[in-house]
Structure 1
Amino acid sequence: MISGHVLLLSEPSTLQLFEEIEAALKLRVAGVTHFRHASDLDVKSEPWRSSDVFLTYGGFPCTRDLLASSPRLRAIACPWTGTEGFDEAAATQLGIVVANGHAEENTFSVAEATVLFMLAALYDLHGAEKVLRENRRRPQLPIAHMLYGKRIGLVGFGGIGSRVAHLLAPWGGEIVAYDRAAITDPHVQAVDLATLLSTSDVISLHVGLSHETYHLLNHENLKLVKRGAILVNTARGGVIDETALYEAARDGRFARIALDVFDKEPLSPTSPLRDLPNAILTPHMIAQTVEARAAFIPLAVENVTRLLEGELPEAEYFRNPEVAAR
């Protein structure tokens, strides 16, 4: 058994996954404690103060004060990719490793779901289904648009964005991308955000949520969008100002929008987005495949056990590699 103590903190929607991770960890780690609600976490309690690794969901607020209150804490980790609740800068300054579950299966699932959204929006899948279910007369003119030949704009070109570009390459369209890092894919043209928004037929978001990306698509940027474009978001809801998006979609800026993520989840029953006839809305589940979920469990166990044994996470799971020197 590996010595050390791991504290797990889940929430109702992630409880089953965390319980499976807990069971797997108990086969390898001497000390494992699982809090099932955020309110259970007491910074003065022995489980917290004796924790070497803290495994929790990415939206949990791992603030500087919280991290500093555990004298033995050497790492915080999330079973999946998103760590938007973690203060990574503070963790780095405190010498605490941040790791995530950047599973290849999850990357592929989100990329496939993104292309699914693009096609469902372009071909008006729901509209065609509605014709049949409501026994309407088939429209005399086509309602679908081809993906072939379209200009696809990817906002963010990390693992998921680049995978989307790979999947779209055979479709015969033009792919442009905006990213803070250099884009080296020879089949993708790097452009600034204004150019991407104003010239793309399909806009797809693939950036994480941070201070820099919060409401990246605001009133001003949404005014730049080419009229009649498709907007897809399988990244994080906070990247879009939803009030501004509703107004733009209502006023015909977009032919259709397809959203799997929202600023506040679950989406409020009174959200005006629900009333948009040109919106495809799913509850942050479109990319949650059986294969991706299965990959999260052994990856979380691997990350935790490596950290307890004094090793750093593999590069693809290491959110703050600059902490290694500390």
Structure 2
Amino acid sequence: MRKAAFVLSPAVFDDVYGPSMARIRTMTEVMHEPPGPIDPADMADVRVLFSSWGAPVLDQTLLDAAPRLEIVLYAAGSVRAITTPEFWARGIPLVSAYQGNAVPVADFTLAQITLALKGAFQYALRARADRAPATLVERPGLYGSRVGLLSLGAVGRMVADRLRPFNVEVLAHDPYARSYPGVRLVGIEELFATCDVVSVHTPLLPATRGLVGRELLDSMKLGATLINTARGAVIDEHALVDVLTERPDLFAALDVTDPEPPEPGSPLFTLPNVMLTPHIAGALGGERGALGELVVDELARFLAGEPLRHALTERSAALLA
């Protein structure tokens, strides 16, 4: 039986792997689990490395400490912060639960789109500020509206799927996408200028940093809403603050910012047309157990000699948000 170790934040261990521990113990001999830190000496015989949020960097030091390592199972999303050229050079399979984490992000985004098209954010914030019932403002509603998706990665496609039962027109801009059912591909300028809601799902890459700048923001139609559950730096935040200040008809629902959280005193905390949430779109609490189950399923395939379904390559990992 292969020896396994867990290296992740103790704060998320029970949520992520607790529901799967009995199954894990039938497949591996667990050498270490949180909350205590692992002794590097205990890594020598480890073949299966379980991780998630709070993972260590897979650098030369860790690889040298675990010379028998055969697979890394990462029950979270992007792995760019933990991978290194030395790791990729070893050819060790790396599984990520990014597709599992995309599910709650898509669910959260659908809820935000619905609330945005109903004007719920504006109503609630105005009523709180005035300490009185707010005047209802005419909003487009869910049916017959136009929703724009910036990128059609895992989350963008799931959001498009969730919107399909509704009577909305779904547009998307993604230079790498050819087609997707129920979605009309358009240029980024048309996306921002014509949609009632624009939802950002673009990974943060050198080419996408600051992609959404003043010109695109200022082109948004009257009363439109910008949603961002991807990465804060995809949007030029200074330009966003300026445009939201100048155009109180626009609204921004931001689950991510740049920096994150915003600096003390940031206008994002006080602008009346901004709703801030602290990066909660991804898996929380019991939702995290599904990520653990996904990577444990992959371990079962690995042990059975079957193809992995969620393994990343160096190239695919670089494209994740």
Distance 1:151 1:57 in 2: 36
* 5+ residue gaps, structure 1: none
1:33/1:208 CA distance change after superposition, 3 Å: farther
For 1:16, the equivalent position in structure 2 comes to: 14
Partners of 2:194 and 2:54 in 1: CA distance:
34
Amino acid at match of 2:72: I
41 and 242 in structure 1: CA distance in 2 versus 1, 3 angstrom threshold = farther
Structure 2 partner of 1:230: 225
Which position in structure 1 is the counterpart of 2:238? Answer: 243
Q: Hey, what's the Cα distance between the residues in 1 that align with 2:11 and 2:312? A: 24
Give, in angstroms, the shift of residue 79 of structure 1: 0.9
Amino acid at match of 1:277: P
Q: What pairs with 1:113-152 in structure 2 (closer than 5 Å)?
A: 113-129=108-124, 136=132, 138-139=134-135, 142-152=137-147
Q: Within the alignment, does 1:81 sit opposite 2:77 as a pair?
A: yes
Shift in alpha-carbon separation, 1:179–1:131, aligned structure 2, 3 A = closer
Cα drift, residue 227 of structure 1: 5.7
Q: Which amino acid aligns with 2:155?
A: I
Is the 8 Å Cα contact of residues 237 and 261 (structure 1) preserved in structure 2? yes
* Residues 292 and 18 of structure 1, relative CA distance in 2, 3 Å threshold: closer
Residues 63, 242 of structure 1: alpha-carbon distance in 2 compared, 3 angstrom cutoff = farther
Q: Which amino acid aligns with 1:230?
A: T
Cα shift at 1:278: 0.8
Contact 2:110 2:159 in 1 (8 A): yes
For 1:20 and 1:7, the matched residues in 2 are separated by 14
Are the structure 2 counterparts of residues 201 and 137 from structure 1 closer, same or farther at C-alpha, using a change threshold of 3 Å? closer
Q: In the aligned structure 2, how far is the partner of 1:268 from the partner of 1:35?
A: 32
Cα offset, 1:148, TM superposition: 2.9
Tell me the residue number matched to 1:200.
195
What is the root-mean-square deviation in Å for CA atoms of aligned residues?
3.5
Question: Alignment length, in residue pairs?
Answer: 313
Q: 1:182–1:50: structure 2 CA closer, same or farther, 3 Å change rule?
A: same
2:25 is aligned to: 26
Q: What is the CA distance between 1:291 and its match in structure 2?
A: 6.3
The residue aligned with 2:311 is 318
CA contact (8 A) 1:109 1:287 kept: yes
TM-score normalised by length of structure 1: 0.78
Contact in 2 for aligned 1:21/1:300 (Cα 8 Å): no
Q: Give % identity.
A: 29
Specify every segment of 5 or more residues in structure 2 that has no aligned partner in the other structure, as ranges.
317-321
Q: CA, structure 1 residues 200+88, in 2 after alignment: closer, same or farther (shift >3 Å)?
A: farther
Shift of 1:198: 3.3
Partner of 1:93: 89
**Any conservation in 2 of the 1:177–1:196 contact (CA below 8 Å)?**
yes
Is 1:178 aligned with 2:173?
yes
Normalised TM-score (structure 2): 0.79
Letter in 2 for 1:17: D
Tell me the distance in 2 between the aligned counterparts of 1:153 and 1:198.
10
8 Å Cα contact 1:8-1:18 kept in structure 2: no
Tell me how far apart the structure 1 counterparts of residues 35 and 196 of structure 2 sit (CA, whole Å). Answer: 44
Partner of 2:48: 53
Report the secondary structure of 1:167's partner residue. helix
**Shift of the alpha carbon at 1:161?**
1.3
CA deviations 1:209-258 (Å, max 9, x no partner) are: 44444443345654555564311112233433433333332232871111
Aligned-residue offset at 1:280: 1.5
CA contact (8 A) 2:7 2:56 kept: no
Check 1:221–1:76 CA distance in 2 against 1; reply closer, same or farther (3 A cut). Answer: farther
Are residues 146 and 117 of structure 1, via their aligned partners in 2, closer, same or farther at CA, if it must alter by over 3 Å? same
